[in-house]
Amino acid sequence: MITVVGSLNMDLVTTTTRDPEMGETIMGVAFDTVPGGKGANQAVAAHRLGGDVQFIGRLGDDVFGREYREILKREGISLQNVKPVTHQKTGIATITVADSNNKIIVVSGANNSLTTSEVNKHRDVIATSDWLVLQLEVPLEANEAALKIAKENGVRVILNPAPFQAFPKEWFDMMTWCTPNETEMVAMQEAYSDPATRKLMQKKCIVTRGAEGVSFLSGGGEDLVAAPAVKVVDTTGAGDTFTGALAVALDEGMTIREACSFAVKAASLSVTKFGAQGGMPTRCEVEGM
């Protein structure tokens, strides 16, 4: 079983032909409201690919929160560990998509109510998992609590360090794999400069490199798993698809190279459609690629 602890955001997406300059007004092309949040995206990606997934997160008791609950129900993801909170609004992300690339601002809202004590309410779910998947859109204390439960119970962990903020270096000991993109990898290299942490970090990082694919360190040096060429519509959620798919593949016992190859295909398919979750593929679609 794969347990994802993380964020849910309603994505408010404006499609434009270019980014406005500071102080400039331009006309947009389209506006859409679609489900997102790195945590929920990774859970949906893993579930569509056949993973046995549990998701732990928090929504507001508001219009977006109620809409998101219906979306998760339709996806077949249990709501048992997704509690509505009354004191904060559902998290949102304002996203601008221009020329297939995105810029994102997240307002965490109810995601911030996932505290240590709230995570501990789901101790049994985490403790009985095979894999725990984390990102950095919920408070660091939530991730730390989940990591401790995982460590105590021998649960393997994938941390997607996005959006990057410095976390305690001791976390590297508690994770199995870390999936930064190139920007996050640079930030991590600046944040963790002592040689021992650097070494551990490099050993555990699988760096997502967009259209190029992903790279990781193997016995013979850096190994690159190339991405298949696809027609890109929207890159939002590609990294989340990779992380969710990686969890499924590793849970099934694939080697790290096989798992990366599977996950790169899933991420490549995800960018061919609009929205973070809109293009996340099914198992058949990945296997048919």
Q: Which is nearer to ligand RIB, 28 or 278 (CB)?
A: 278
- By CB under 6 A, is residue 184 in contact with ligand RIB? no
| Residues 201, 202, 205, 211, CA torsion sign | positive
Crossing angle between the packed helical segments 63-75 and 38-48, to the nearest 10 degrees:
20
Task: Name the minimum Å distance from CB 154 to ligand RIB.
Answer: 29
Residues 6+ apart with CB under 8 A from 70: none
Task: Name the minimum Å distance from CB 199 to ligand RIB.
Answer: 28
End-to-end CA, the chain: 26
- For residue 66, which of 10, 137, 138, 7 has the smallest C-alpha distance? 10
By CB under 6 A, the count of residues binding ligand RIB is: 16
Q: Which is nearer to ligand RIB, 127 or 233 (CB)?
A: 233
Task: Name the minimum Å distance from CB 51 to ligand RIB.
Answer: 18
Considering only residues 119 through 138, tell me which ones interact with ligand RIB, judged by CB under 6 A.
Answer: 137
Q: From its phi and psi, is residue 154 left (phi > 0), alpha (psi between -120 and 50) or beta? A: left
Residue choice 276, 279, 280, 281 for contact with ligand RIB (CB under 6 A): 276
Considering only residues 25 through 44, tell me which ones interact with ligand RIB, judged by CB under 6 A.
Answer: 36-38, 41
| 3-state SS assignment for residue 120 | helix
52 classed as catalytic: no
Q: Choosing from 11, 62, 240, 251, which is the catalytic residue?
A: 240
Known catalytic residues? 240
